[in-house]
Structure 1
Amino acid sequence: MSNQTENHKKTKVNLSKDLIIKTALWMIEENSIDGFSLRKLAQKFNCEDMSIYYHMKNKEQILDQIVDFWVSKINFKNQVDDPKGQLMYIAKQWRKLSQEYPKFFLILAVHPLNTDIGYNFMNVILLVFKNANLALKDASYFLRILNYYLIGVGIDEAKGYQLAGKNLKLEKYPLLEDAKSYWATED
């Protein structure tokens, strides 16, 4: 007698790079990165693992593509005369991403922006700083500072951290006490 699972034919799924990326993102949000693998992705599609490899080289390429997908969704206002407003606009979109996709954001935070889309993203932010009349060296420093800040805030958001809502004992630190009112989810 033959095993039914061995004889069960895989159904043909019309796989595409876009479908793989969106499904992988959904699986990561459902089960975290630890629960994601190409084998599990293939099971989700009821196809062979090799069908995934036809579209993607490996898991790392899938993560690159998901990062590119999200980074390319960040809009830039074309306001040369308002760099602060433009940076705030970018930061709010980044924060929203961390709130909507907290499990994937933890990957985004440590994943290099080493694709054309990632390089373009950083280049546009450098242009914002350059348009604010910063020298390239200073613009480069501020790019890194902004990056570190947004990643840190995003990780806090992704983990559900709400400093403003906690009962902090800051009597000895009046400046910090006054500043905490700005650490709200609305900012």
Structure 2
Amino acid sequence: MPSPKNSDAEAAAEKTRLSRQVVLAAALELVDAEGLDALTMRRLGQQLNRDPMSLYRYAANRAALLDGVSELVFDELSIHPKDPDWQAQLRYIAHDLRLLALRHPNVVPLLVTRPLSTPLGLRPLGTLRPLEQILSLLIDAGFAPADALHMYRAYYGFLYGHILNELQEFIVDPDENEALLRLGLHRLPPKDFPQLRALGPVLADYDGAAELDQGIDILLSGLAAHLSRVPESTREPAQG
């Protein structure tokens, strides 16, 4: 029977077995807990109880770490590009992305803004897969490839806008029943912000999932209407 000392040594050895997946998972855990600014090689080394220099084997620099974290989060997004019900699939993806953002709110700015500084072909492959899969979904549904790209942009533009808006829905005093006080709107000058103050009860009852559904309803109706105006003879053939 191994002694407790040996067991401790074996446990320590087990902890030191690093892989890219282990390093990125620890990086994501660090960002979730402390924010993006906390993610440095030195801090990650402390998190993993390893010399920071040993981590460069798995990520060349902090930028590579950020890209890896983005890919890891996008891996949690479930997309089925061969689903024949493209509207149901887009609705499902929207809600899945919202929940993913609520699980990792500190990562959302990274997902939204980091791609803007990187040419499309140089972005991590894992961050491009949702684009490829949704394009396939829309093209298989009958949209022309160029139309599918425009619709992807509109779809993700709406989703990211909704997510950023929901993450900013702060409640000042959750125990306060009066909407104006709960949201801190009583501090706004009544003459300058009459509409915002009047909407206090609606703002206080904000339901992110329901709000998302309302927006998706409008978006999907527009996409379906666009597809219905395309003559059958010019639609992209469905892929078998």
TM-score normalised by the shorter chain: which range applies? 0.7 to 0.9
Question: Separation in 2 of the partners of 1:147 and 1:14?
Answer: 38
Which of 154, 169, 181 aligns to 2:195? It is 169
Question: Separation in 2 of the partners of 1:48 and 1:74?
Answer: 32
Question: 3-state DSSP class of the match of 2:76?
Answer: coil
Q: TM-score, with normalisation over the residues of structure 1?
A: 0.76
2:36 corresponds to: 33
Which runs of structure 2 are paired with 1:56-71 in the superposition (5 Å)? Answer: 56-71=59-74
The verdict on how the C-alpha distance between 1:41 and 1:80 changes in structure 2, with shifts beyond 3 A counting, is: closer
* Preserved contact between residue 76 and residue 100 of structure 2 (Cα < 8 Å): no
**Structure 2 segments unaligned to the other structure (5+ residues):** 1-11, 172-178, 186-193, 197-201, 211-240
Q: CA RMSD in A?
A: 3.0
1:185 corresponds to: 208
Structure of higher CA gyration radius: 2
Which of 141, 148, 154 aligns to 1:132? It is 141
* Preserved contact between residue 98 and residue 105 of structure 1 (Cα < 8 Å): yes
* Preserved contact between residue 26 and residue 48 of structure 2 (Cα < 8 Å): no
Q: Report the Cα offset of residue 85 of structure 1.
A: 0.5
AA matched with 1:186: A
Q: Report the Cα offset of residue 79 of structure 1.
A: 5.5
Higher relative helix content: 2
Q: TM-score, with normalisation over the residues of structure 2?
A: 0.61
Question: Separation in 2 of the partners of 1:104 and 1:63?
Answer: 9
1:93 corresponds to: 96
Which of 118, 122, 142 aligns to 2:151? It is 142
Deviation readout 1:18-49 (Å, 9 max, x if unpaired): 12111111111211112221111112223222
* Preserved contact between residue 28 and residue 103 of structure 1 (Cα < 8 Å): yes
* Preserved contact between residue 25 and residue 66 of structure 1 (Cα < 8 Å): yes
Question: Separation in 2 of the partners of 1:133 and 1:75?
Answer: 22
2:46 corresponds to: 43
Deviation readout 1:132-176 (Å, 9 max, x if unpaired): 3211111111111112111111222333458xx878837xxxxxx
Question: Separation in 2 of the partners of 1:101 and 1:186?
Answer: 16
Question: Separation in 2 of the partners of 1:31 and 1:51?
Answer: 22
Question: 3-state DSSP class of the match of 2:143?
Answer: coil
**Structure 1 segments unaligned to the other structure (5+ residues):** 1-10, 171-177
Q: Report the Cα offset of residue 185 of structure 1.
A: 2.0
Question: Separation in 2 of the partners of 1:80 and 1:16?
Answer: 34
* Preserved contact between residue 80 and residue 131 of structure 1 (Cα < 8 Å): no
